[in-house]
Amino acid sequence: MKNLTANEVIKRTIDFAEKRSERFFISIYAPITKNIYFDGHSYRVRVTRDYNRTSVNFPKIKDALKFRDKLKHA
């Protein structure tokens, strides 16, 4: 079995989500990292703090990571 880098795993997950969303015309959220999911078109950040859930979509993973980290450390 081949050892995959983190970037390869993320790329495979993104490819899977894109294929699923095109085939079934529904949103399938594939986990990318902790609290970040990809539906084939955008990245969703879902974080729960003090029983309050925040869920926001971003077009770029870089923006999603910044937002998630900001929420976690706030």
Residue type at position 48: T
Partners of 45 in the β-ladder: 36, 56
Exposed/middle/buried for residue 37 (C-beta within 10 Å: 0-12, 13-18, 19+): buried
Torsion (CA) 12, 45, 35, 46 in degrees, nearest 10 = -140
Query: What's the pLDDT band for 24 if we cut at 50, 70, 90?
Result: low
Give the predicted TM-score (pTM) of the model: 0.63
What domains does the chain contain, in order, with CATH numbers?
A: 6-73 (3.30.160)
Q: For position 7, what pLDDT does the model report? A: 76
- On average, the pLDDT of the chain sits at 80
Is pLDDT at 14 greater than 80 in this prediction? no
* Per-residue pLDDT tens over the stretch 29-57: 778 888 899 877 889 999 888 888 889 99
